[in-house]
């Protein structure tokens, strides 16, 4: 499906509530829309936590949807949109919560995922859909929404704003030497199993410090599980570590990642935040497919053990497995060895040497 327009529409609404990584993936679509349709008023309905990262982007109206408010969040959204109608809704989240929210959004055209990629009956809530290769990166899938609007341009620009205070905080945190930033944890939820081993992280830290004289900074969220994980890594390492887990805002974290020489992270939002700045990101992937969810600008640096994990735990290969199939095994990340990560660090440092 491809829609055509005699002139740019007056208004367009994006519905993407979460999560941090996926919100980061939407930014190139927003930047492309701003360039191609500069007169179109863009509204983005977004989650509360995610808004803290991007809601100061100029030229976009942000409407925050706080899922913790339950039913009240929907009534508040209805009130904020009362009397309004958009030309286009890009319904970019195939989840029931988002689809119920879409009922509060009046729009002439509501574009969602095609039926094979539609989850939680999203296709019942839309009147148009994307088309294209389903076995591509999330960002490329999001660009298919623009293709449905007959927009072929793809502007890979993120430009997440950070303040001078955020930059000053990052400079103080990073010190005066090139820094390896490690964001070791993914979000805390049941059966996630995307975190790597504590002792192996410590060994990589020592390798980076001894071989490249890199400062080491740990980053992450405020959850007690993340704090404990970071403390355990710092205790195991023989190298001094600046442990900032739970001690920075999202904007400060963005500035820290942008100031790093190299970042190491599993499949988690900060990996995509870092990739958005152009900093090399060594992604640690076994549970999930980096060709779908890896740090987009750093896929060549990914430690990709996903094919091995699929074979070992699911007896499948990448070609036969459903796109986006997760390997859910408690020890899946153990497939990644220390030498896999240090070898990739060597490659990054060869291409991005310390001055």
Burial track 20-58 (b if 16+ CB lie within 10 A, e otherwise)? bbbbbbbbbbbbbbbeebeebebbbbbbbbbbebbbebe
Q: Identify the pLDDT of residue 1.
A: 63
Domains of the chain in start order, with CATH, are 11-147 (3.40.50.2000), 164-351 (3.40.50.2000)
Length of the chain: 355
Choose among 231, 281, 239: nearest CA to 257. 281
Q: Which residues pair with 284 in a beta bridge?
A: 266, 303
Nearest to 347 by CA among 292, 302, 288: 302
Q: What is the DSSP string of 209-261?
A: HHHH--EEEE---S-HHHHHHHHHHHHH-SS--EE-TTSS-HHHHHHHHHH-S
Mark the ranges of the chain whose per-residue pLDDT is less than 70: 1
């Amino acid at each position: 499906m491809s829609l055509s327009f005699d002139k740019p529409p007056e208004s367009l609404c994006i519905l993407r509530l979460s999560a941090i990584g996926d919100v980061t993936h939407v930014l190139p679509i927003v930047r492309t829309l701003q360039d191609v349709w500069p007169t179109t008023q863009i509204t983005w309905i977004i989650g509360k936590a995610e808004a803290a990262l991007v809601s100061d982007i100029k030229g976009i109206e942000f409407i925050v949807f706080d899922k913790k408010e339950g039913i009240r969040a929907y009534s508040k959204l209805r009130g904020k949109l009362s009397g309004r109608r958009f030309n286009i809704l890009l319904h970019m989240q195939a989840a029931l919560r988002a689809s119920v929210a879409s009922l509060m959004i009046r729009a002439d055209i509501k574009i969602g995922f095609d039926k094979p990629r539609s989850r939680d009956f999203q296709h019942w809530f839309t009147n148009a859909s994307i088309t294209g290769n389903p076995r591509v990166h999330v960002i490329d899938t999001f660009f298919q929404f623009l293709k449905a609007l007959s927009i072929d341009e793809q502007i890979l620009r993120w430009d997440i704003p950070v303040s001078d205070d955020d930059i000053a905080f990052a400079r103080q945190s990073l010190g005066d030497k090139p820094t390896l930033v490690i964001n070791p944890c993914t979000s805390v939820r049941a059966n996630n199993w995307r975190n790597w081993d504590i002792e192996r992280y410590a060994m990589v830290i020592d390798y980076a410090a001894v071989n490249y004289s890199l400062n080491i900074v740990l980053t992450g969220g405020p959850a007690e599980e993340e704090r404990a994980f970071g403390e355990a890594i710092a205790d195991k390492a023989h190298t001094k570590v600046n442990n900032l887990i739970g001690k920075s805002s999202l904007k400060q974290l963005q500035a820290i990642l942008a100031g790093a020489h190299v970042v190491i992270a599993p499949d988690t939002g900060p990996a995509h935040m870092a990739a958005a700045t152009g900093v090399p990101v060594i992604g640690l992937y076994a549970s999930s497919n980096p060709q779908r969810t890896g740090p987009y600008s750093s896929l060549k640096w990914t430690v990709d053990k996903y094919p091995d994990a699929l074979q070992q735990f699911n007896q499948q290969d990448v070609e036969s497995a459903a796109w986006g199939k997760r390997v859910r095994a408690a020890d899946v990340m153990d497939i990644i060895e220390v030498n896999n990560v240090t070898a990739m660090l060597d490659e990054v440092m060869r291409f991005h040497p310390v001055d």
